[in-house]
Amino acid sequence: MDEIQLPNVGMRLRALRDRQGLTLRALAEKCGLSINAISLIEHGENSPTVATLQRLATALNVPITDFFRGETRQTIVFVKRDQGMRSQSDGVVMESLGIGLFRQQIEPFRMIIEPGVENTADPVSHAGEEFVYCLQGKLDYFINGRAFRLEPGDGLLFDASQPHAYCNRSGESATILIIFQASRDQPLVKQMHLER
């Protein structure tokens, strides 16, 4: 079986920006990040947070998985343990568990959130649905003002257009499986209909 090499996030961001004919300044204005921050990500000198990736994806009108995707039309994606593409920043590691499937509609990731890490000051919202499953540790998840304490074996499914955030108040790392499912308005589904 051939080994598949996935591109890095910075290279994919640059390719997506170039494909849309956007300058660094134009993308910065669309997503609210600084030109310098985007440039550092593109050059691999800064690893973006999940919230930053979501802001960039929204500005580029692509699903977050496009930052982890290759250009092939794969029908099977096999990812060995700890071999998925990773993005790491400020106490959070986000690892792709399967990106690159042709006409892919679900986007699975494993996230490790260190103690004391939270994104409650900058909640995320996006089209589609989201499923969170706690594998290890404890994590507080907030959806549209409601709090949920996730412990191993707990799952949470919600409409991702609602503002959502997490906070690890425990003294240990929390590991979650997180699966995004694109809505019908997302580019993956549009692409599927356009290709028929």
Q: Dump pLDDT digits (tens) for 105-140.
A: 888 989 999 999 998 888 888 778 899 999 999 999
Closest CA to 43 of 76, 12, 68: 12
Measured distance CA(93)–CA(126) in Å, rounded: 20
Q: Which residues contact 56 (CB under 8 A, 6 or more apart)?
A: 13, 27, 31, 33, 38, 41, 48, 67
Q: Is the pLDDT of residue 196 over 50?
A: no
Assessment of whether the complete model's pTM goes beyond 0.75? no
Q: Can you read off the two tokens belonging to residue 161? A: 């257009």
Q: Domains along the chain?
A: 9-67 (1.10.260.40), 86-195 (2.60.120.10)
Measured distance CA(180)–CA(157) in Å, rounded: 10
Measured distance CA(26)–CA(44) in Å, rounded: 20
Instruction: Report CA-CA distances (Å) from 179 to 42, 59, 92.
Output: 25, 21, 16
State the pLDDT at residue 51.
77
**pLDDT-based confidence at 17, cuts 50/70/90?**
confident
